[in-house]
Structure 1
Amino acid sequence: MEKFILVLNLGSTTTKVALFRDLNCHIVKTYSHDKGLISRGINEQKSVRYETIIQFLKDSKVAPEEISIVAARGGLLQPVEGGTYLVNEDMLDDLTSGKYGDHASNLSGILAAEFAGDYDIEAVITDPVVVDELCIQAQYTGIKGIRRTSIFHALNQKAVARKYAAGINKNYEDLNLIVIHMGGGITVGAHHLGRVIDVNNGLNGDGPMSPTRAGSLPVNGLLKYLDRHNLSHQEINKLISKQGGLLSHLNTEDVRDIVAAVEKGDTHSAEVLEAMAFQIGKEIGAKAAVLHGQVDQIIFTGGVSRSEYVMDLIKPYISFLAPITVYPGELEMEALAYGAYTIEQDRTLLKTYRAEVSHD
């Protein structure tokens, strides 16, 4: 009997697990964790999260020996190009040490490797958030020593780009696309012939404001804000990446609640949503310029794209640029399974992660 691909996608508060045969989802389940667990460091969560995965297999009546490969969400690593990577010792060292940041997503690769080691199979990750294919021009800033970095929804952006390409019987590598992931953070990528040559850093204060992130800020205004409130670097980073955007203005990040308030006549909520749509439209226009105006399709994805109200606010700014397609929600589990499946079919596609060599 053909074996399964086990897919692991660990977030801050959830463990999402799925089984695929080829590219067909057999079963998927999301486990929510209590605050007691998620308040611990990621290494302290390992045993509970691992047991969750084993319990999922028991509930699914699938033995570990029926798994051929583990496909995991990529964590915070050094910048890499897009693709599927073997979870090797170099990667494990960087995920476990938190060298590039501590996030629950690091546990995906760590636990995938543990499971793979227990059952003598391979573990892989695909298109982690640190995929960096920026053209050299996109990396420059106006201050020597400060470079723009690529942190974005690489997995889902590339997944929906490939899905669109397949739907029109073309290769992703033959198209120019602008892909917008709208979730808690918003990233807008210029996909040029299969590479994301420009994208806003959706985590650390770049691009449009989003439900929980501040987006680009006027530097002088930010400096004055720091002085007024006497904030530490840690506090301002939290404000920018977790407490900004809609949450800062409206005390909620839930777009459904905000739209409901607008429909009841809340003009301030309407104004804030319109401002977010304005900023998203500007960012899309900038990416169209990067692609020299040669845009085959504009593609929206992520949870916020389910809101017709928000989409109707954005479309007037961009409809003249290219046709628009919307894939609401996300395709992360499918994308992870796809990455594992493709390297099972063609081993030459498997990439090797190498830790950055220190020059100290």
Structure 2
Amino acid sequence: MNNYYILAINPGSMSTKIGVFENENEVFTASVEHQSRDLETFPTINAQFEFRKNTVMEILGSHNFEIKKLSAVVGRGGLLPPIQAGGYTVNAAMKKLIWEGNLSQHASNLGALLADTIAKPLGIPAFIYDAVSADEMEDIARITGFPEVQRKSLCHVLNTKAMGRKYAMALGKRYEDLNLVIAHLGGGISISAHKNGKIIDVISDDMGPFSPERSGSIPLFAVVELCYNNRYDKKAMLKKIRGLGGLKGHLGTSDCREIEKRILAGDKKAEKIYEAQAYQIAKGIGEIAAVLKGNLDGIILTGGMAYSEKMTAMIGEYISFMGPVHCLPGENEVEALALGGLRLLRKEEKPHVFRG
């Protein structure tokens, strides 16, 4: 069997994470947290390209890794137009679309560009894998009460599919043979229904429970009133939805560790809001489980908040009647990128062609 070295790159809103893997085995992983004052000097996400590239190269240099050993580079897939799940080769059409700057602003858009700029001089493939916009939703799930608005498949595709595969492996089964509900609990929360290896429906971060910094679903009439009362412009409302909503809006912090300390110190408001978040997460899991019609092989809680025994215990009290609940905490996206790239190199999967 061939020996492959794979570089995985995951640019996040406030960090750049990379990992080098030799086949399935981690050689090293590293994360650099960026200061707001540094990123605020760039007018757009694309303008951060050289800064992020230099960050990646500095990490590789600090680990004395010789990049000529690499077999492939895999970047996180960004907010491209709806595409299939799995791997794509980074090509001219993809790079052109990203560089044109018309995509929603998100650091993950840089994943393809960073993978390409490192891979191209080495003559090796650059891939993206399980992009944020990967779309496997069933058509019935797209329909809303507004004819001009369709629901979109936007969730933590990369991590939830990776955790689905990990759970299946622990059972001695294939991910493609299971029906799962997977809740990614992070700064944003998404809940997804996985049926035989496909994400057939999602509750995205603007449609379900509030999270540490996002508002989640809000009663529509109240939102309309806020939009037209001359207190908030569009920019301010979007910030309330993402950035200043959820725990941040109620308690002034998005740090769950700090909130749990407050609760231990007797802060009743913090306790009530934290319990409300668990309640809403559980309600969202129940909602998305319905689309699987009771054929449920497991419920997985993942993401950073899944490290909290308090939060997962509160959620579990509501949902354990539906099926086995398993905590696979953390954001395992770097590993998921590398393993996806490995499957492509081994020809266990075939990369898709992006056509714009």
**TM-score bucket of the superposed structures, by smaller chain:** over 0.9
Change (3 A) 1:277 1:229: farther
Alpha-carbon distance, 1:33 to partner: 2.6
Match of 2:243 in 1: 242
Match of 1:35 in 2: 36
Alpha-carbon distance, 1:112 to partner: 0.9
Q: Does 1:165 align with 2:137?
A: no
CA offsets, 1:306-346, max 9 Å, x none?
Answer: 11111121111101000011011121111001111001101
Match of 1:255 in 2: 256
Match of 2:14 in 1: 13
SS in 1 for 2:192: strand
Q: Does 1:79 align with 2:85?
A: no
Alpha-carbon distance, 1:236 to partner: 1.1
Q: Does 1:334 align with 2:335?
A: yes
Change (3 A) 1:331 1:253: same
Distance across 2 between alignment mates of 1:209 and 1:137: 25
Distance across 1 between alignment mates of 2:111 and 2:311: 32
CA offsets, 1:155-200, max 9 Å, x none?
Answer: 0000000000011111111110000000001111011111111111
SS in 2 for 1:214: coil
Q: How does 1:1-360 map to 2 (within 5 A)?
A: 2-39=3-40, 40=42, 41-202=44-205, 205-346=206-347, 349-355=350-356
Distance across 1 between alignment mates of 2:304 and 2:134: 21
One-letter code of the match for 1:342?
Answer: R
One-letter code of the match for 2:246?
Answer: G
Identity of aligned residues (%): 38
Alpha-carbon distance, 1:228 to partner: 3.0
Distance across 2 between alignment mates of 1:323 and 1:199: 20
Alpha-carbon distance, 1:232 to partner: 2.0
Cα contact 2:83–2:135 (8 A) shared by 1: yes
Match of 1:358 in 2: none
The unaligned stretches of length 5 or more in structure 2 are none
Change (3 A) 1:300 1:348: closer
One-letter code of the match for 1:25?
Answer: E
One-letter code of the match for 1:234?
Answer: K
Distance across 1 between alignment mates of 2:15 and 2:37: 13
CA offsets, 1:27-71, max 9 Å, x none?
Answer: 111122333431112233222221222222222222221111001
Change (3 A) 1:230 1:32: same
Cα contact 2:133–2:154 (8 A) shared by 1: yes
Alpha-carbon distance, 1:3 to partner: 4.5
Distance across 2 between alignment mates of 1:69 and 1:5: 5
Cα contact 1:80–1:132 (8 A) shared by 2: yes
Distance across 2 between alignment mates of 1:220 and 1:239: 16
Cα contact 1:76–1:95 (8 A) shared by 2: no
CA offsets, 1:81-104, max 9 Å, x none?
Answer: 210111111111222223221221
Distance across 2 between alignment mates of 1:107 and 1:331: 19
Distance across 2 between alignment mates of 1:224 and 1:178: 34
One-letter code of the match for 1:207?
Answer: G
SS in 2 for 1:231: coil
SS in 1 for 2:321: coil
Distance across 1 between alignment mates of 2:317 and 2:56: 45
One-letter code of the match for 1:338?
Answer: L
One-letter code of the match for 1:90?
Answer: A
Cα contact 1:156–1:332 (8 A) shared by 2: yes
SS in 2 for 1:133: coil
Alpha-carbon distance, 1:9 to partner: 0.8
One-letter code of the match for 2:130?
Answer: D
One-letter code of the match for 2:297?
Answer: D
Cα contact 2:19–2:335 (8 A) shared by 1: no
SS in 1 for 2:107: coil
Question: What is the TM-score of this pair, normalised by structure 2?
Answer: 0.96
Distance across 2 between alignment mates of 1:346 and 1:238: 43
One-letter code of the match for 1:138?
Answer: A
Alpha-carbon distance, 1:263 to partner: 1.3
Question: What is the TM-score of this pair, normalised by structure 1?
Answer: 0.95
Distance across 2 between alignment mates of 1:237 and 1:314: 28
Cα contact 2:343–2:349 (8 A) shared by 1: no
